[in-house]
Amino acid sequence: MEVDKELPSPIEFRLDPGSGVPTYLQLVQQVEQALRLGYLKQGDQLPRVKDVVAGLAINPNTVLKAYRELEHRGLASGRRGQGTFVDGALPMVGLREQEALRRGLLRWMRTATAAGLDEEGIVALVSSALHDLHAENEEVVA
């Protein structure tokens, strides 16, 4: 009996063509998000270039550019003939804390929606609040 040695990647990429973010950066951001949320860990294999190309109908050079950027950031490394693997880590909050934060965020989003905000309004408000948080943190450091 032959065993398939190639396990599927724990991440599947998706694209938002209306985001204004270059395709390769969307892939990089998704890997970073998966690392922060614990969906990816060191040693996990990223999707093969040919699978990403087939699934998203994008140029292979775009996927290669994303993987090179992940290598540059110290988050992945290519292994000749085997693929690209997660090689680094990003700060991560524990799963229990993440779930509690997610539930609180969903409650807030429901309240924001009930108050009349659409998705773009929620994104704008969150972006504004993040900007304020960064400004506060810079004041504390200074």
Shared domain check, 34 and 82: yes
CATH code: domain of residue 76: 1.10.10.10
**Ordered per-residue pLDDT tens for the chain, 142 residues:** 443 455 678 899 999 999 999 999 999 999 999 999 889 999 999 999 999 999 999 999 999 999 999 999 999 999 998 999 999 888 878 888 988 999 999 999 999 999 999 999 999 999 999 888 888 877 776 6
60 lies in the same domain as 114: no
Report d(CA 137, CA 44) in Å as an integer: 34
Same domain (yes/no): 81, 121: no
- In the chain, the N- to C-terminal Cα span, in Å, equals 64
- The number of residues in the chain equals 142
Indicate the burial class of 76 (C-beta count within 10 angstroms; 0-12, 13-18, 19 or more).
buried
Q: What is the pLDDT of residue 90?
A: 85
Q: Which amino acid appears at position 49 of this protein?
A: V
Look at residue 47 in the predicted model and tell me its pLDDT. Answer: 96
Q: What is the pLDDT, as a whole number, of residue 136?
A: 85
Query: Where in the sequence is the domain holding 37, given as residue range(s)?
Result: 23-86
User: In terms of domains, do 28 and 82 share one?
Assistant: yes
- Are 17 and 56 a contacting pair, CB within 8 Å? no
Instruction: Judge if 79 and 27 occupy the same domain.
Output: yes
Classify residue 8: in a domain, yes or no.
Answer: no
Residues 73, 31, single domain; the answer is yes
Q: Do 82 and 109 share a domain, yes or no?
A: no
Alpha-carbon distance 40 to 13, whole Å? 13
Task: Check whether residue 81 and residue 100 sit in a common domain.
Answer: no
Q: Which two tokens stand for residue 137?
A: 């943190």
CA 23 to chain centre: 13
Q: Is residue 14 part of a domain?
A: no
Where in 18-121 does DSSP place strands (E)?
76-79, 83-86
- Give the chain's domain count: 2
The confidence score (pLDDT) of residue 93 equals: 80
Amino acid at 40: L
- Which SS3 state, helix, strand or coil, does residue 79 take? strand
**Domain finish residue from 66, 86, 106:** 86
- Give the per-residue pLDDT at 141: 67
**Of all helices (H) and strands (E), which one includes residue 102?**
helix 95-114
**Final residue of a structural domain among 40, 61, 86:** 86
Question: Using CA atoms, how far apart are residues 65 and 39, in angstroms rounded to an integer?
Answer: 22
**Domain termination site, one of 39, 69, 86:** 86
- Residue 16 lies inside a defined structural domain of this protein: no
